[in-house]
Amino acid sequence: MVDVVIIGGGPAGSAMGSFLSMKGISNIIIEKEIHPRPHVGESMVTSSTRIFEEIGFLPTMEKEAFVHKFGASWHEPGGREFQIRFEEFPQEGIRQPYTYHVDRGKFDLLLFKNAQRLGSQTIQGVGVKQVLFEEDRAVGVRIRLGDQDVDIPAKMVVDASGRSTILGRQLNTKKNDPIFNQYAVHAWYENVARGEIPISEDYIHIYFLPVERGWAWQIPINEKITSMGIVVEREVFREFKGDMEAYFNTYVASNPALKKALEPATRVNEFKTEGDYSYSMSSFVGNGFLMVGDAARFVDPIFSSGVSIALYSAKFAAETIETALKANNVSEEMLMPYEKKLRGGVSVWYEFIRLYYKLLPLFTHFIQSKKYRLEILRLLQGEVFERSEVDILDAMRRYIETVEKTENHIFKKQLSSIPLDEIPETILASSQPTPH
């Protein structure tokens, strides 16, 4: 019997295996696909670098020459551009002024191999049929090998299955977010004009679109290939009459800077779509199990938070598992500190994203602000897991309130219709936003 069986070999599962192996905790990672596998989500935040270093993976990131990401740029529909550089806010324990853009197929494979190198057992090309329970405690998983079912017993089960949410579906604890229902269409292009300012060529570029909650991304994958994506509300996508390319090009044309970036470009693969954007599990832990990364909670990826949340949830979960196994107590109560920690961090991201979508182009007011610029930068780097540490969110709320309550305010029409008052119960964290 292994100590821990991990469902899924993406960033959360591989980081989980790496941390557990470093602690001397036996584990096996079961991945239903065979690496390398295609995956969207190619941009990182700088706090991820700290995890890479902790698990001995940072030299691999440098050796493989992933694109260095030094900052971010926002483009308004009217043509103005606003930038930030990560080096403006040095982070403790991070000795480089950049993070990375990656080809996720290659990145995930390398992270999976890192877990193997550190001692994780691995199985690829085999899906988990179900998590096994004795009464209400998880005791292992059942997989299908050839023409027979095989049970793998374990002291604990970690669901790192990403948006497949194996345990959430089995236990019926998955709750779709009632507010966010975004839909993305994306593809890779060659010869995209990445930035008029040379230093911004390797930034992530975000383009505001003149449609409800609409935006586009531009992420360099390597010297030639750039990932481009259009994100709008699902209903906006459904209302479009035409093929995928016409849909994509319609929104490209709606932002002059985006149109200019793609004028010299050629698409090199088929359009892909992503839906079911935001959801949460009503609980992240239970007797003998816990969930990490997207298997626990998925928030809109506009700030490239997905991989960072996966990595940090693996780190926090590994620490909790170590304590639980040493105490020979893997009860829900024993694992609950992990859930509280993760909910605290994800709820900060969630509130930030809601406020961002409410503001959209008006968000650039805070990027330009000497008072709030560094706090925004700190959030964008993935540094915050306590709501009490981010006064900027209260400032954003006050700014929105002023615009809404001021008669004939010049910016009122630029606010989106996203509600700010209701927070779904499944999103609530141990540390809540300051009441207004």
d(CA 331, CA 382): 30
Name residues whose C-beta falls within 8 Å of residue 36's C-beta, 6 or more positions apart in sequence.
105, 106, 108, 109
Domains and CATH numbers, the chain: 2-61+102-174+278-342 (3.50.50.60), 182-274 (3.30.9.100), 358-427 (no CATH)
| pLDDT score of 422 | 56
Average confidence (pLDDT) per 10 residues, the chain, 436 residues: 97 98 98 92 91 97 95 88 88 89 96 98 96 97 93 98 95 86 91 80 91 90 95 86 91 94 96 82 96 90 85 97 98 97 87 88 88 86 77 92 91 83 47 30
| pLDDT score of 429 | 39
| pLDDT score of 201 | 81
Q: What are phi and psi of 231, to 5 degrees?
A: -125, 125
Residues in the chain: 436
Name residues whose C-beta falls within 8 Å of residue 135's C-beta, 6 or more positions apart in sequence.
none
E strand spans, 193-329: 204-208, 215-220, 225-233, 266-267, 272-274, 279-281, 285-286, 289-291, 297-298
Contact (Cβ atoms closer than 8 angstroms) between residue 229 and residue 222 = no
Residue 404 neighbours by CB distance under 10 Å: 13
Give the 3-state secondary structure of residue 363: helix
Q: CA nearest 101: which of 46, 160, 63, 33?
A: 46
